[in-house]
Amino acid sequence: MALTLYVDTARWRAHQKQVLDQFPGMIPVCKGNGYGFGHERLAEEATRLGADVLAVGTTYEAAKIKDMFSGDLLVLTPFRRGEEPVPLPDRVIRSVSSVDGVHGLVGARVVIECMSSMKRHGVSEQDLGRLHAAIEDVRLEGFALHLPLDRPDGSDAVEEVIGWMDRLRAARLPLHTMFVSHLKADDQARLQQQFPQTRFRARIGTRLWLGDHDSTQYRGTVLDVTRVAKGDRFGYRQQKTASDGWLVVVAGGTSHGVGLEAPKALHGVMPRAKGVARAGLATVNRNLSPFVWAGKQRWFAEPPHMQVSILFVPSDATEPKVGDELVAHLRHTTTQFDRMVDA
């Protein structure tokens, strides 16, 4: 009795192959919880794809994944002086986002991040003159640009990359490899055509592993079903039921990530109105669960427990049975499953 991630393996892998074909030299990304699949599974898939480099989020992830993947590991979090040292093999490549960071990695393999319009981290144009001396003491794998997903100002991602290519070239810095994130396939092809002497390598995670939503599905097993009448008290807080129906105990609770939701950027009147409505319902303890039964998302009867959730199913719906599985609309990057089944 579990929260299960079902994977249509053939379809999932066909999507991976499609992404790989669109982005020659692609570097798969495996960070966080492994996009819901786990580090070991994604390391296996990256090997199957023939990847020579796997990108990870942190040095701690690199230490964990080094025994799962035999190729190079690219750590995406930039190096900072004073960080906790983590024993890593020579095949690990560190990202750096400052001249000081380059000086702190003498002898190491490094990728230098440039400050993009994300304005998160990276060297500035003013830093380029000081990089000449710094890169003499490291093994430079290339430069990198982490680009935004949306461009409401109408700016062009390709032009942003070209701008940095021109700056790096003017500073007489080596341009043999440029690592990029969040470019479209057509954009990368345009850049490769314009700069044939530079190898563009896309670092891709979400699009690669989660781009085909219908290839995966979470389902929670029904563990218990109890009939209740309007006004019956139940649960930790002994609330009253609003009507006749069933209390349904289903596998999947807070330890799995059920009930957790990352903040979303809302655009437009309707999404904002729905957000306000959900917030209003939450103030009277009405919270929609991710679990679906009889074609509808069902309400939590009370906040989810550690390993299970209790739902209320009204009497006008079909009664769930122990052993039934309820589809759950869960965010992969915040969910921990009990088991994965390849279908």
Predicted TM-score (pTM) of the model is 0.91
> Is 80 exceeded by the pLDDT of residue 283?
no
- pLDDT, greater one: 99 or 267: 99
What pLDDT shows up at residue 270?
55
Question: Is the separation of the CB atoms in 57 and 35 below 8 Å?
Answer: no
73-82, 139-148, 152-161, 277-286: least confident range: 277-286
> How many other CB atoms are there within 10 angstroms of residue 130's CB atom?
14
Q: Where are the alpha helices (DSSP H) in 66-156?
A: 99-103, 128-134
Confidence of residue 263 (pLDDT cuts 50, 70, 90): low
What pLDDT shows up at residue 109?
98
The secondary structure of residue 337, as a DSSP letter, is -
Phi/psi of residue 80, nearest 5 degrees: -130, 135
Residue keyed to tokens 């509808």 = 296
Residue type at 144 in one-letter notation: A
Dihedral sign from CA coordinates of 312, 265, 330, 58: negative
Where do the structural domains in the chain lie, given as residue ranges? 8-211, 214-342
The secondary structure of residue 198, as a DSSP letter, is S
38 CA to centre of own chain: 11
What pLDDT shows up at residue 192?
96
The partner residues of 56 in beta bridges, in order of sequence, read 75
CATH architecture of 214-342: Beta Barrel (2.40)
Residue type at 123 in one-letter notation: V
What pLDDT shows up at residue 265?
57
Q: What is the rounded distance in angstroms from the CA atom of residue 11 to the CA atom of residue 58?
A: 30
Query: Under 8 Å CB-to-CB from 307, ≥6 apart: which residues?
Result: 251, 252, 253, 255, 256
What pLDDT shows up at residue 220?
98
What pLDDT shows up at residue 300?
96
Q: What is the rounded distance in angstroms from the CA atom of residue 46 to the CA atom of residue 53?
A: 9
Phi/psi of residue 322, nearest 5 degrees: -60, 130
Confidence of residue 276 (pLDDT cuts 50, 70, 90): very low
Average pLDDT over residues 215-239: 96
What pLDDT shows up at residue 284?
37
What pLDDT shows up at residue 1?
77
What pLDDT shows up at residue 226?
97
What is the CATH class of 8-211?
alpha beta
What pLDDT shows up at residue 212?
98
> Is 70 exceeded by the pLDDT of residue 280?
no
> How many other CB atoms are there within 10 angstroms of residue 72's CB atom?
18
Confidence of residue 260 (pLDDT cuts 50, 70, 90): confident
Dihedral sign from CA coordinates of 224, 227, 229, 230: positive
Q: Which residues of 137-146 are buried (b: 16+ CB within 10 A; e: fewer)?
A: ebebbbbbbb
Q: Beta strand pairing status for 308-314 and 296-300?
A: antiparallel
Q: What is the rounded distance in angstroms from the CA atom of residue 92 to the CA atom of residue 53?
A: 9
Is residue 26 classed as helix, strand or coil in its secondary structure? coil
Is residue 222 classed as helix, strand or coil in its secondary structure? strand
> Is 60 exceeded by the pLDDT of residue 272?
no
- pLDDT tens, 82-139? 999 999 999 999 999 999 999 999 999 999 999 999 999 999 999 999 998 999 999 9
Q: What percent of the chain has pLDDT over 90?
A: 90
Confidence of residue 237 (pLDDT cuts 50, 70, 90): confident
The two three-digit tokens of residue 17, written as one number: 């192959």
CA distances from 111 to 4, 79, 122, 157, 289 (A): 38, 10, 11, 20, 43
Q: What is the mean pLDDT of the chain?
A: 93
What pLDDT shows up at residue 275?
42
92-101, 117-126, 220-229, 279-288: least confident range: 279-288
